[in-house]
Amino acid sequence: MTTLPQSHIRGYLRRDGRKGIRNHVAVAYMVECAHHVAREIVLNFRHQKWGGGVAGIGQVHLIGFPGCFPNAYAETMMEQLLTHPNVGAVVLVSLGCESMNKHHLAQFVADSGRPVHTVTIQETGGTRKSIGEATEWIVSTIKELERTKSVPMGIEELVIGTICGGSDGTSGITANPAVGRSFDLLIEQGATCIFEETGELVGCEYHMKNRAVTPELGEELVRCVAKAAHYYTVLGHGSFAVGNASGGLTTMEEKSLGAYAKSGASPIRGIIKPGEVPSQKGLGGGLYLLDVVPDGEPRFGFPNISDNAEIVELIACGCHLTLFTTGRGSVVGSALAPVIKVCANPETYDRMRDDMDINAGRILNGKATLDEVGREIYTSVIRVAEGARSLSEELGHQEFILGYKQFEPSGPACFPSDQRIAKVA
C-alpha cells in the first residue's frame, strides 16, 4: 500500500479550540433587502476598488438569510456559519426592520473572540454610506487578520464533508466509492467525516444500521431514512432529477446505492442535524450521517432546493472543506469553505477539466483503481488544507443559499458515548 503523504497543515486557532484552514471575512446580510448592499461591499474588494493594495480578494465572502421572519433553524445556521473556524471576522449588514436578531448574532460572534461590526442601512444613511462604512472597517480588519499567526494542525482536527450533484450512471461506479475510500483513509488518521443526505439513502438504511456503533444508533438510522421517505412521499417528489435519468441512472435504488458509496466502510459514529458540530457535542473523529430532512410534517417545501443548500449545512456542522462528486458536471463552489470536485465521468472531465480537481473517470477507463483515486483524493484534501486552492476557489466560486427548515435536537441515541461504544464492543 502506498504511504500516505505527510501533513504540514497549519491552522488559525479559534477561542473554542477549533482551527481554520482559511481566515476569511464573512459579510452577512440579515434579510434580502440588505443583500445588494452586502454584495457591493464584497465586490469592492474583489475588484480592488477600495483599500489600495489590501489583499482582500478571495478573503471576503458573502453569506446571508433572505427571510424577513427567521426561524430557529436559520438562526442556528447563522450562528455556526459566522463562528466557523474558517472565519476570522464578521460584518453584519442589516436593513434595520427585519426580524433576524442582529444584536444576538453580534454578541455571539464577539463571544467567540472574532472582531465583528454591524452596519444598519436605515441608520447609516443608505446604500453608499453603508458600503463605505463597512469597507473602511474591513480594510482595517484584514490588515489585522494578515498578521494572524498560524499554528500546527493535525489531520485529526480536520472535518470533511461529501455531497454528490449532477449525478449520472458513472457516479456510483467511480467518484462516489473513491470518495468512500478517501474517507476511510482520513478516518484512520483520526479525522471527522460527514456524509448525507437521507433523502438519497432510501433503501440503504439497513446497510447503515449494520455499521452503527451501537444498536440504538442503528435504530435511529432506520428511523431517519423512514422520515425522509415519508417526507418525499407527501411532497410527491423523490431525489431523482431529470438530469439523473438522462445521464444513465435508471432507478432511485441505483442512485441511493451510488450515494451511499460515498460513506466508505468505516463504522458510523453518530447522526447529526444541520448546525450540530460533533466536537461541540463532545464527540471525536469518525464517520457521521447528516440528516437534512426536516422534522415534523412538511412545511417548507423540498428539503434542499439545490446542492448548495446541502454544502452550507455541511459547513454549519464544522466542515473545513467538501468533496463534491459529479458525473454530469457541476461548477459550484461555496463561500467560507473550499469545495474539491471529483468527476466521475471521463468524458465530462475532458470537457470541463478547468472545473474538476480529480478525474475519477480513469477508473472507468481502466487507468486507475478505486484505491489509487481514493489516495489521490486524500492527498488533495491535505493539499487544500495546507493552503492550496481548489479549482472552484481559483475560479472565484462562492455560492451560498439558506432557507427555512424545522428540526428537533438530536436525541442521545444519535451521539453514543465512548463508554457506551466500548461496552457494546
Pairing of strands 10-13, 19-20: antiparallel
With b for 16 or more beta-carbon neighbours within 10 A and e for fewer, the 88-110 pattern comes to bbbbbbbbeebebebeebbebbe
Q: Give kind and range of the element (H or E) at residue 420.
A: helix 418-424
- Structure confidence at residue 232 (pLDDT): 86
Question: For 236-368, where are the alpha helices, taking DSSP H only?
Answer: 242-246, 252-260, 307-316, 346-351
With 0.85 as the threshold, say if the pTM is over it: yes
Judged by phi (left if over 0) then psi (alpha if -120 to 50, else beta), residue 329 lies in left
- Structure confidence at residue 1 (pLDDT): 44
Q: What is the CA radius of gyration of the chain?
A: 21
Q: What is the DSSP string of 310-336?
A: HHHHHHHTT-SEEEEEESS------SS
- Structure confidence at residue 143 (pLDDT): 86
- Structure confidence at residue 413 (pLDDT): 92
pLDDT in tens, the chain (425 residues): 457 878 899 999 999 999 999 999 999 999 999 999 999 999 987 665 444 444 444 589 999 999 999 899 999 999 999 999 999 999 999 999 999 999 999 999 999 999 999 999 999 999 999 999 999 999 899 888 988 899 999 999 999 999 998 888 888 989 999 999 999 999 999 999 999 988 888 888 999 999 999 999 999 999 999 999 999 888 877 665 555 655 555 555 555 677 899 999 999 999 999 999 999 888 889 999 999 999 998 888 888 888 999 999 999 999 999 999 999 999 999 999 999 999 999 999 999 999 999 999 999 999 999 999 999 999 999 999 999 999 999 999 999 999 999 999 898 999 887 767 767 76
- Structure confidence at residue 56 (pLDDT): 41
Q: Rounded CA gap, 21 and 155, in Å?
A: 11
- Structure confidence at residue 385 (pLDDT): 97
Pairing of strands 10-13, 151-152: antiparallel
Judged by phi (left if over 0) then psi (alpha if -120 to 50, else beta), residue 36 lies in alpha
